[in-house]
Amino acid sequence: MATALTSPAAGAEAALRLPDRLAAASAGAGLRPGCHLVRLTLDREGTATPPVEYDGTLRVERDAVGTVASGDLYLRRPSGLGGSLSHEPDPAAGIPVFARNDYRYYVRVTDIAPGEGVGDVSLDVELERYGGAAGKWSREGGFTADLTRAQAPPGYPSAGDFLRGDVLDASRRRAGGVTIGWIADRLRRAVIEVECVDGCEAPLANAAGMDWRSIFAAIGWDVAVTHTLVELADPGEDGWSDAELHAALSRGDQVDLDAEWRFRLLCVRRLRPDERGRMFDAAGTDSNKVPREGAAIAAHWMIPDEEQWGLVRHLRFGTATDPYFRTAVHEIGHAMGLEHNTAENGFMRPTDAISRGVIPPQRFPENVVWAYQDEDARRLRHLPDPWVRPGGVPFRLAYLGAPSLPRDAMVAPPSCSSGSRRSTSPCRSAPRYG
Ligand SMILES: [Zn+2]
């Protein structure tokens, strides 16, 4: 019968979709690792009021132990009301960036289980509502999303990695609807702008070639780097004060932090007081009340002529490639909200502590660990957006003030479950942030 014939176009489409379906099936009950675009509609009491809509991201991290997932939701403002309008994110445009004022919910995924059909997923989540400038959170309660695998609408990069379904409250009553579609391999994205005053080296990589991109790729961030030479008058032999650094940061065209996560690293000759580097955009120095936009590093700081500094003793900092780049990554770590972490010799341990702690025959900086310590990596992946994005909450609004991070939501495969679940205890951090 003629009606049974499939059009060539539809046939090609079906053939193209097959690998996606196989991938979905092989993933079992899981969600594909990476960033998913979430669209949530919450019903409201009564029929006269329209539902409230949110857009956001769900970050799915899979490691040897299991799956950890968290997300953030931003209010989608109704169009046509004037003022700043929310745009629906384009799933083809990669990881979306939302306006900070629209931030509403942190999503902690507590369980991921197989649904009824192949590739279907049942997701248990807890929603934490954000209280804005006061930084207060309130638990909205636990919800379950019963998700059915569906064909993604146009624009999504993977037709088979799309789910839709109802959101149910704790009493199994419908609270709304949701769609979740995979959009990128990475979890978060940002730009790091390296701005160098004349005579200052750009910290772009370590001696072994490990650069910003590879460091952040290891923790699931998609980081682009720009490097520019800037003409800024040196404030004097004593170096740059925090206020002078902030004024330099605020010059010229301002970055729209509601359109991109851009962290800026100023590379100057000296800092005042005399330090290696500093995340200066905090507290009283943050005169424009846009926290953590940038950090600075001192290319002309002299490494002390002392034994503890090993292979780089008495070098000008900008010429000591490894510790210079490491400090740059450390300061940007502060700009991303991280505090000091002395658990290992990773990026957030202060440089002098690493050099003091070297055990011969190693010599500093051979004992540097070129990674964010596990808990810091976990924070960068799963802390709520306002904690890590530039222009979010002020620096040193402690991790304890944020909702607790998700634990493994699904331990897989079961035979590997050794009880070694990840700890969510925050590290105790030193009060300094140089
Ligand atoms: Zn520091």
pLDDT tens column, 322-338: 999 999 999 999 999 99
Q: Give me ligand 1 centre to Cα 273, in Å.
A: 14
Q: Give me ligand 1 centre to Cα 300, in Å.
A: 18
Q: Give me ligand 1 centre to Cα 309, in Å.
A: 18
For the chain, which residues make up each domain, given as ranges?
22-184, 190-416
pLDDT by residue (tens digit) across 276-297? Answer: 999 988 877 777 888 999 999 9
Tokens 């936009």 belong to 293
Q: Give me ligand 1 centre to Cα 136, in Å.
A: 26
Q: Give me ligand 1 centre to Cα 98, in Å.
A: 28
User: Mean pLDDT lowest for which of 8-17, 50-59, 319-328?
Assistant: 8-17
Q: Check whether 205 has a pLDDT greater than 70.
A: yes
Q: 361: cis peptide before it, omega within 30°?
A: yes
Question: Residue 56 contacts by C-beta under 8 Å, 6 or more apart in sequence?
Answer: 37, 38, 40, 71, 72, 73, 74, 98, 105, 107
Contact 180, 38 (CB under 8 A): yes
Q: Give me ligand 1 centre to Cα 334, in Å.
A: 7
- pLDDT score recorded for residue 423: 33
C-alpha torsion angle, residues 380, 382, 388, 391 (rounded to 10):
160
- pLDDT score recorded for residue 136: 84
User: Mean pLDDT lowest for which of 174-178, 298-302, 385-389, 394-398?
Assistant: 394-398
- pLDDT score recorded for residue 288: 81
User: In 3-state terms, what secondary structure has residue 416?
Assistant: helix
Q: Give me ligand 1 centre to Cα 424, in Å.
A: 22
- pLDDT score recorded for residue 331: 96
Averaged confidence pLDDT in the chain: 85
What band does 185 get if pLDDT is binned at 50, 70 and 90? very high
Q: Check whether 10 has a pLDDT greater than 80.
A: no
What's the average model confidence in pLDDT over 211-226?
98
Q: Do domains 22-184 and 190-416 have the same CATH topology?
A: no
- pLDDT score recorded for residue 80: 52
- pLDDT score recorded for residue 290: 87
Beta strand 52-62 with 188-197 is unpaired
Question: Residue 38 contacts by C-beta under 8 Å, 6 or more apart in sequence?
Answer: 54, 55, 56, 57, 58, 71, 73, 107, 178, 179, 180
At the second CATH level, the architecture of 190-416 is 3-Layer(aba) Sandwich (3.40)
- pLDDT score recorded for residue 134: 66
Q: Check whether 6 has a pLDDT greater than 80.
A: no
The residue ranking higher by pLDDT, 86 or 169, is: 169
- pLDDT score recorded for residue 81: 53
The residue ranking higher by pLDDT, 142 or 83, is: 142
Q: Give me ligand 1 centre to Cα 51, in Å.
A: 45
Q: Give me ligand 1 centre to Cα 383, in Å.
A: 19
- pLDDT score recorded for residue 36: 98
What distances in angstroms separate CA 257 from CA 110, 282, 326, 383, one per listed residue? 30, 16, 25, 18
Q: Give me ligand 1 centre to Cα 323, in Å.
A: 13
Q: Give me ligand 1 centre to Cα 433, in Å.
A: 4
Residue type, 169: D
Q: Give me ligand 1 centre to Cα 195, in Å.
A: 20
Q: Give me ligand 1 centre to Cα 341, in Å.
A: 9
Q: Give me ligand 1 centre to Cα 360, in Å.
A: 25
- pLDDT score recorded for residue 45: 75
Q: Give me ligand 1 centre to Cα 221, in Å.
A: 21
- pLDDT score recorded for residue 79: 61
List the Cα angle 191/195/198 in 5-degree steps: 165
Q: Give me ligand 1 centre to Cα 276, in Å.
A: 10
Contact 416, 65 (CB under 8 A): yes
At the second CATH level, the architecture of 22-184 is Beta Barrel (2.40)
Q: Give me ligand 1 centre to Cα 292, in Å.
A: 13
What's the average model confidence in pLDDT over 399-426?
54
Q: Give me ligand 1 centre to Cα 331, in Å.
A: 6
What's the average model confidence in pLDDT over 408-414?
56
User: Mean pLDDT lowest for which of 71-85, 243-257, 390-404?
Assistant: 71-85
- pLDDT score recorded for residue 25: 38
Q: Give me ligand 1 centre to Cα 428, in Å.
A: 14
What span, in angstroms and rounded, lies between the C-alpha atoms of 107 and 384?
8
What span, in angstroms and rounded, lies between the C-alpha atoms of 323 and 319?
9
What's the average model confidence in pLDDT over 208-224?
98
Q: Give me ligand 1 centre to Cα 362, in Å.
A: 23
Q: Give me ligand 1 centre to Cα 432, in Å.
A: 6
